[in-house]
Amino acid sequence: MLQIPTNDKIVYEVILYNRVVRALVKDNLSHELYDDYWADVQAYDVMAVDELEARQLISLRYPPDQGFVVEQVKILAN
């Protein structure tokens, strides 16, 4: 995380993977854009005022229409 925590925001850990990459890797293939590691869950820290904002922010960076699936969002610190 490259942001300094502020009083009005909470640090969330977002766990996600890419369902398209996962399916391709299962068939011993690779995605043309995303590395094979996206078949496994990845964790990213997001600063947001609430869980809904954390989900919105991660969706901007990792869009669901490109196969990204948020598996879990949990509070790390506030």
Sorted by where each begins, the domain ranges of the chain are: 13-77
- Residue 57: its H or E element: helix 51-61
Taking the C-alpha atoms of residue 67 and residue 27, their distance in angstroms, rounded to an integer, is 16
pLDDT reading at 10 higher than 60: yes
Stretch 8-19: mean pLDDT:
94
The two three-digit tokens of residue 4, written as one number: 């300094």
Model pTM score: 0.87
23-73 pLDDT, tens digit per residue, is 999 999 999 999 999 999 999 999 999 999 999 999 999 999 999 999 999
pLDDT of residue 2: 47
